[in-house]
Structure 1
Amino acid sequence: MNDLEGLAPEQVERISKARERVIDSIGKNMDLYGITLSIGHLYGYMYFNQGPVTLDELSRTMGMSKTSMSTGVRTLLDLKMIDKVWGKGTRKDLFEVVPDWHQNFSDYFSIKWRKAVEGNMAALSKSLNEIKQMKSEYADEPGMEQLLSTDEVKIEEAIKYYRWLLKLIEALETGKIFELIPKES
């Protein structure tokens, strides 16, 4: 991390130790969200870096292969936690952190939740249509009407939940969530 050049060794050690503690906590926090610890550490290293970095620089700093760095960087790009930036005089790709943790949280959960909600809603809709079809097919069979009606109500309740979750996702995506729960300044 080039911002430590010119400092006394004991200063570098103390600052590095404090940063490592934060980087480790970032990694552990991101691990809770289903992102590997190493990708969390990668984000942490990039967070403390003073400007954009290349895959080669990340690989050297973290002691990991360029392939591992590439995979981690691609994941962070997909999650909108880092950006690919242009650098004058370099032909290598440069990457830098998006330092807004609130936006990172919003992007991460809206990306993950939207994908899950869309898949779950499709499955629920398909099952609801099948239940309704069976209700008409088995209308004369004792007990089937009640059984299918109970399942229909349960599926409709699940659909209501997912519609609510879509509203939460929209609030995250639009930033309206911060009107309800303001960021600290």
Structure 2
Amino acid sequence: MSVKSQRKRIALRALGAVAVGALAWITATTGIPGGASQQTNPTALVAGEAPGYAVEDFSYPLADKILAEKNIVLKRGDGHITLADCVSGAGLLEVMARNKADKICFKVVGDSGWLTLEIPAVYAVKGNDYTTEVDMTVGTEEKSFDITKNSWTPVGEAADTEGRDHLLVEIRSSK
């Protein structure tokens, strides 16, 4: 064995010893499980308790509170169509339902949006500057209505020859 290769082996052993020593020092001072200071260091690292990944399920925020207060079922959406106070200004989608004393208003933002919901006995929708379509059900039958921009459009029972109650189930808008 040459002198040069012996020096390489000695250097590698020394480097390995330094690495092991550094690892032991880190373990002892940070409280990594199995380290000497595990019982004395309350800030031990716990990788298993890290927060999980955020996954968007598009559920409507505070839907339970809105149901309890306003008796409106808001299910899912992309966040571009939201329930609004009707006195908050112009440019809102307005919904009239026979079982509600006041209109129900929605604010639309962005280039497009969608919202699934349940509002029974809807008979008219006032559009805004967006192209809007609503989907409704009556029994097992599904119907879609194009909403006239900035004007009231008869939908549901007002557009049904039999005058049946319709349930508003989805709103879709785009610029």
The structure having more radius of gyration, on CA atoms, is: 2
Q: Name the one with the larger strand percent.
A: 2
Structure number having the greater helix percentage: 1
Shared topology, TM-score over 0.5?
no
Scaled by the length of structure 2, the TM-score of the pair is 0.22
